[in-house]
Amino acid sequence: MARFAAGLDFGTESARLVLVDVKTGGEAATVVYPYPHGVLTRALPDGTPLGPDWALQHPGDYLKAAEHLLREAARAAGREGVVGIGVDCTASTVMPVEGDGTPLCLVAQYATRPHAWVKLWKHHAAQRQADRLNAMRPEFLDLYGGRTSSEWLHAKSLQILEEAPEVFAAADRIIEAGDWIIWQLTGREMRSVCQAGFKAHWQPERGYPQASLLAELHPAFPKLLDKLGSPQTVGTRAGGLTAAWAVRSGLPEGLPVAVATIDAHAAFPGLGARQPGTLVMVMGTSTCHLLLSRHKVAIRGISGVVGDSVVPGLYCYEAGQAATGDALDWWVHTLSWAGDGTAPARSSEALFDRLGREAAKLPPGAGGLVALDWWNGSRTPLVNADLSAVVTGLTVGTTPAQVYRAIVEATAYGTRQVIELFESGRGIEPVTELRVCGGLSRSGVLMQIYADVTGKTLQASTTPHASARGAAVYGALAAGRAGGGYDAPEEALARMGVRDFIEYRPDPASHSRYATFFALYRELHRHFGEGGTMLMRRLKELQA
């Protein structure tokens, strides 16, 4: 009778439910729930001001979202119609909680302390802490491109310790929001290897970074190890729905709930990707590249590699480009400026369409422009936020569509570079399959340019639910065959992953022409990013 798995996707501004038919992969319901408090960047709900680069969330929003979405699942599938629940969430989205899971920000004593709240992934105020950890060049970073990020758990935790030591001391646990949601639903703290591996440097051989290293950063920092927890493989059962949540949701007590996963990573099973050599690209404001492999090696510049984190039994490599849609948005926003300074002259959508149409008519090379795609710095391979974008080849004849195409091509060169970097890893399978999702996958122009630049066939899915669907896949695995789901990941992925793709095949002539432009991109990349020039860093410093 139970036919559906529920995938809950906790994003930046809202959470989303997708109810997936376990047998057919069909979608029975999709619901979006915007967070009442959204993202807190200027002040706490009580008005306490926040510093620059802060970005917090209210944990109550997650619970309200979960209740609403699970009730919708019960309504759509029927009380007995759901086999299991999977959850994905942004990461590293970190919160200090008490031993029973109570967020410190909901304890009166700490409610006015910004550090007691949930630090959203894009909280960027812990850069100094990240810099200090990086300066130590610890060996454990070899599997993380040599650097930790200010967005990750260690930098954020160290910021709490240094700026609010009593909050740090009061926090029995420091936990990812995704893991905390699982804890709330099941009553059991159960951490995910995906969050721990990619955002807290956990590796099975040695666990989290060791106490002696943490002590070099702050004498009390080794206490962090007591606040974490041993992580579990994704796709396994974290526990069953509590009696209280059965009441809140209208679903049965004990309903299997899967270990949490990172939102971008959930897109991998969501797209049904399961083979070594398959690259999944989640292309929105930025691009997240996820590659599956049988082997674990350190590749300089790659953001991380973690086993059992996406498909049990295989390793997942993660890389990223910090500005993709963001860079195109910047250009559209710039062109909109002439209107009246605040509102765009025409809708962004109309501008995107027109730029895309005109750019599509241009040959490779964007009318003589080559750009570096560093509108938000470089994530892979340089891991350097001080870098900024460059456009070369401008003349009085340069058109807005040429610039647009140059930005698209620059991000495609960046992706080609990521693919070549992955493939340079010893033993790594060649990238034979490329699946794409995210907002940019809807642009045929952009997809074709990516196919032509990389020389790979792209399978693009326009679903907005790839992550939620992936979470549902994990929900079905948590249920197991006995519970109406699946035991074998391959089977769950094949049945429940997206099957409708638009295929973009590389045009051989364009691909060969792009080899020349890619060489020019690499030349700029070396000069501004790898060479002796510190021009961009100096530009940033001069602005500070």
Q: Smaller CB distance to its own copies: residue 352 or 501?
A: 352
Where in 455-494 is the site for its own copies (CB under 8 A)? none
Q: What length is written for the chain?
A: 544
For the bound state, the minimum distance from the C-beta of residue 518 to its own copies, rounded and expressed in Å, comes to 12
Closest CA to 104 of 172, 25, 17, 187: 172
* The two structure tokens encoding residue 84: 């299991």
3-class state of residue 480 by DSSP: coil
* Residue 105-124 contact track with its own copies, rule CB under 8 A, x = bound: --------------------
The answer to whether 206 and 143 are in contact (CB under 8 A) is no
Q: Is 388 in the site for its own copies (CB under 8 A)?
A: yes
The answer to whether 376 and 367 are in contact (CB under 8 A) is no
By CB under 8 A, name the one of 62, 110, 268, 375 that touches its own copies: 375
By CB under 8 A, name the one of 197, 320, 365, 506 that touches its own copies: 365
Cα 159 vs. chain centroid, distance in angstroms?
A: 22
With tokens 């409708």, the residue in question is 500
By CB under 8 A, name the one of 70, 164, 177, 327 that touches its own copies: 327
Q: What is the CA radius of gyration of the chain?
A: 23
Where in 502-531 is the site for its own copies (CB under 8 A)? 516-517, 520, 523-524, 527-528
Q: Is 362 in the site for its own copies (CB under 8 A)?
A: no
* Residue 399-418 contact track with its own copies, rule CB under 8 A, x = bound: xx--x---------------
Q: Is 157 in the site for its own copies (CB under 8 A)?
A: no
3-class state of residue 464 by DSSP: coil
Q: Phi, psi (5° rounding) for residue 165? A: -55, -30
Exposed, middle or buried: residue 377 (CB in 10 Å: 0-12, 13-18, 19+)?
middle
Structural element, H or E, at residue 240:
strand 237-240
Q: Phi, psi (5° rounding) for residue 483? A: -95, 10
How many residues line the site for its own copies (CB under 8 A)? 53
Q: Smaller CB distance to its own copies: residue 404 or 486?
A: 404
| CA atoms of 139 and 137, how far apart (whole Å) | 6
By CB under 8 A, name the one of 212, 395, 426, 482 that touches its own copies: 395
* Residue 269-298 contact track with its own copies, rule CB under 8 A, x = bound: ------------------------------
Residues found near its own copies in the complex (CB under 8 A): 323, 326-327, 329-330, 334-339, 341, 344-346, 351, 354, 365, 367-370, 374-376, 388-396, 398-400, 403, 516-517, 520, 523-524, 527-528, 533, 535-536, 538-540, 542-543
